[in-house]
A and B are shown apart, each in its own frame.
Chain A
Amino acid sequence: SQQGEEDPQALSIQEGENATMNCSYKTSINNLQWYRQNSGRGLVHLILIRSNEREKHSGRLRVTLDTSKKSSSLLITASRAADTASYFCAPSSGGSYIPTFGRGTSLIVHP
């Protein structure tokens, strides 16, 4: 198994601005997933990007993957106060049954 490391640890922006969060990992992956955790709640799956994909969109979310740099980014465009949450990446390697998460990026969007 391997763990993604999110950066920054905390991000505070105004409503309407874009938010970018990064994830780095150590070994080659099959896919990478992003999750959101609202305060006091369980994680909710946002998007999955496979190792042969470079970019993926879902609504206001855009995820990129650079396998040469072993990194991924999550961009939330036109942020809203409701986007306030912690965001986690989960890289998944071949043969790994154990998904792991890091500390996440805590995003605060001020109305």
Chain B
Amino acid sequence: GNSVTQMEGPVTLSEEAFLTINCTYTATGYPSLFWYVQYPGEGLQLLLKATKADDKGSNKGFEATYRKETTSFHLEKGSVQVSDSAVYFCALSGLNSGGYQKVTFGIGTKLQVIP
């Protein structure tokens, strides 16, 4: 079946540091890939997505590139802010054996940015 692997964290960075959160996946076919962000006490928000190989998703200074050759979708940001502190989920969307769209989530990586 489909699976997503990401570092659990927590990741602690100083403000303005460079961020990388690794994500690798296993899937059949051609899944879409996503990063979601969850701020404390809230639901998940879609941060960015990529639907085919070599696509780059970007939003709010974050970006991730769909690498089919390495089955990866690493999240990066050049300069983090305290307001970026949250839990980040990597996810993929593909069809299951029943023919419906299923999203598989990673375990989530907690990011803490300190001033």
Q: Do A and B come from one complex?
A: no
